[in-house]
Every structure is written in structure tokens, then in C-alpha cells.
Amino acid sequence: MEPKFTQKVYKITNQIPKGKVATYKQIATLAGSPGASRAVGMCMKMNPNAPHTPCHRVVASDGALYGYSGNGGIIKKKKMLKDEGVAFVDKTTVDLLTSQWKP
DNA sequence: GGCCTGACTTTAG
DNA sequence: GCTAAAGCCAGGC
């Protein structure tokens, strides 16, 4: 494993444009470890680069807003994403067909 | 160096 | 179609 895994994760997450979202699986894959989706989430929760890492733009593989222990929880997360122009197919599910970030 | 935890994903019932 | 359980990866203690 590379010690730069988290570094990559943060960098990738940071590259997600406004109005788009990426899945944990996708980030894990781009980071070099397709199965490290959990580790990715863990890094998000630590989030040493808080404003530098838009963790709210990271969702589950199916677009569901998972986790987010911030102010308001997933509700706030949903609101922020929606405010950025992200399409929602459900109350807490993003429309990956139109709002998933493709590198 | 080894064990536990965790913002996930996938397969089976 | 939905719910439950198992598995995989990295970080922290």
C-alpha cells in the first residue's frame, strides 16, 4: 500500500467539480485500490483538509448519501449538493446518470 | 507487529 | 424487491 493513498483520495475528491458527485468506489479505484471504499470514507471523516476536501460530493455506489457526520448530517449534505445543481432521484439519493463526475 | 474500527460494496435469503 | 450477513482496504492504538 502506498502512504499516498489518502493523499490521492483527497486530491481526487478535490477535483470533483461543482454540481457533480463521485462514488466511494470510484474514488477508491482512482486512488489505486478498487476495494478500499471503506478506507476512503474513513479518510473523509478524518478530513484533515476540511475546506479543501468536498467530502459532501462523495456518495455511495448507488448514489445514496451515506454517512456525513457534519452539521445537519446527510440532510445538510443533500441540501448543499442540491444547491450546487446536483440532480436527485430521491430524498437522499443522487442521480448518478446526470450528476456523476467522470474524470 | 497485531487487533479493532469504519462515511462501503456485494451476494445470499 | 427488501433485509441480513460476509468480505475487503487502510488507519489508529
B9 C1' to A66 CA distance, Å: 12
Give pLDDT tens digits for A63-101: 999 988 778 888 899 999 999 999 999 999 999 999 999
pLDDT of residue A2 exceeding 60: no
Q: From residues 72-101 of A, which are strand B contacts by CB within 7 A?
A: none
- A43 given a catalytic annotation: no
Residue type at A76 in one-letter notation: K
CB of A56 under 7 A from strand B?
Answer: yes
Confidence category of residue A51, pLDDT binned at 50, 70, 90: low
Domain regions of chain A by residue span: 4-99
Question: DSSP letter string over A27-62?
Answer: HHHHHT-TT-HHHHHHHHHH-TTGGG--GGGEE-TT
The amino acid at residue A28 is: A
Topology of domain A4-99, per CATH?
Arc Repressor Mutant, subunit A (1.10.10)
From the CA of A36 to the C1' of B10: give the distance in Å.
13
pTM summary value: 0.90
- Give the pLDDT of residue A85: 95
Compute the distance between CA of residue A56 and CA of residue A68 in angstroms, rounded to an integer.
Answer: 7
Q: What mean pLDDT is reported for chain A?
A: 89
Strands (E) located in chain A = 22-23, 58-59, 88-90, 93-94
Read off the pLDDT of each residue in A32-60 and give the average, rounded to a whole number.
Answer: 87
